[in-house]
Amino acid sequence: MKLTSIVSVNYNQPEVTLAFLESVKINSKNDHVEVILVDNGCKEDHSASFLAVYPELVYISSSKNLGFAGGNNLGIKAAKGDFLLLLNNDTEISGNLIATLSNVLENNPGIGIVSPLLLFYDQPDIIQYAGFTEMNYLTCRNSGVGSMEVNRGQYDHVEGETAFCHGAAMMCRAEDLRVIGLMEEQFFLYYEEFDWCEKFKRSGKKIWFNGSTKVYHKESMSVGKESMIKTYFMTRNRMLFIRRNTGYLNTIAFSCYFILFACTKQIYIYWKKGRKDLIKWVFKGVFWNFSHSTNSKNLGFKI
């Protein structure tokens, strides 16, 4: 049986991470796994608690927050497995997850990344993810397949190619990364898994969905609280994704649409909501793209 390395990142969520480790421990008893946890610039050291729950845990501490991509990349570099299963620490898994996803990759060399069905943990009858539609590169918009549908088992036997995986749960082969490379740490937060999928597709690999296994995600069903960090990175990285993955003319066309229409609309919405404090972060996200290349080493976020 081939080894699967489960990689997860903790950023100041010890209780959530403990529940994640408990779930992995219970639901991977029949699998050949190693679990790697990256503490991503956390304020407090909870390693003793993590190891108490999962004594075999490979624990890695980073002195600074490397972001979603950087934290996962740090764990991937330490992994010994043939397969890499990247899981958000706010997920809990089903008992057949590892066997199902590894079998997909084992039997289909043309598949690069596979994601399972994602359900909302607090309302497990509601679907979060059953695939993604293709990206409209002129607007940088796409849709989630099955998103917010009531789960009646309609995707339990669905398997096939999809446009993008979901960053909360995705498995790939370690050997493929020797050619494709790791996630781009320049994104720091948001759009990094979309960019990674584009790299897989350019290498000739397929992005896959398999609905016969499930992950329960503790992300809120609501849109979520607006914040300066979310506003900044969603704005910045939407432009960065297009710059990295389309040609010059498409980038120009998208930038005109994005700046003149999408950002203007967002600024108006913030103004109407009384969130004028977020408006400057839209501008900062846009202007970042005019002063940084697509392989910039300036990865952090400064307020």
Q: Which domain holds residue 233?
A: 228-291
Q: Is residue 303 part of a domain?
A: no
**b/e sequence 253-288, b meaning 16+ C-beta within 10 Å:** bbbeebeeebbeebbeebeeeeeeebbebbeebbeb
Q: What is the CATH number of the domain that holds 206?
A: 3.90.550.10
Same domain, 24 and 109: yes
Residues 22 and 105 in one domain: yes
90 and 158 both lie in a single domain: yes
Choose the final residue of a domain: 185, 215, 245: 215
* 55 & 187 share domain: yes
Judge whether 254 and 133 are in contact, CB under 8 Å: no
Asked whether residue 179 falls in the same domain as residue 257, the answer is no
Residues 76 and 183 in one domain: yes
Overall number of domains in the chain: 2
Report residue 13 as tokens: 């969520």
For the chain, the average pLDDT equals 94
- In tens, the pLDDT along 98-150 reads 999 999 999 999 999 999 999 999 999 999 999 999 999 999 999 999 999 99
pLDDT digits (tens, 9 = 90+) for 35-89: 999 999 888 899 999 999 999 999 999 999 999 999 999 999 999 999 999 999 9
Q: 160 and 282: one domain?
A: no
pLDDT tens for 233-267 read: 999 999 999 999 999 999 999 999 999 999 999 99
Q: Considering the domain boundaries, does residue 15 fall inside one?
A: yes
What is the 8-class DSSP label of residue 145?
T
Same domain, 85 and 199: yes
Same domain, 199 and 97: yes
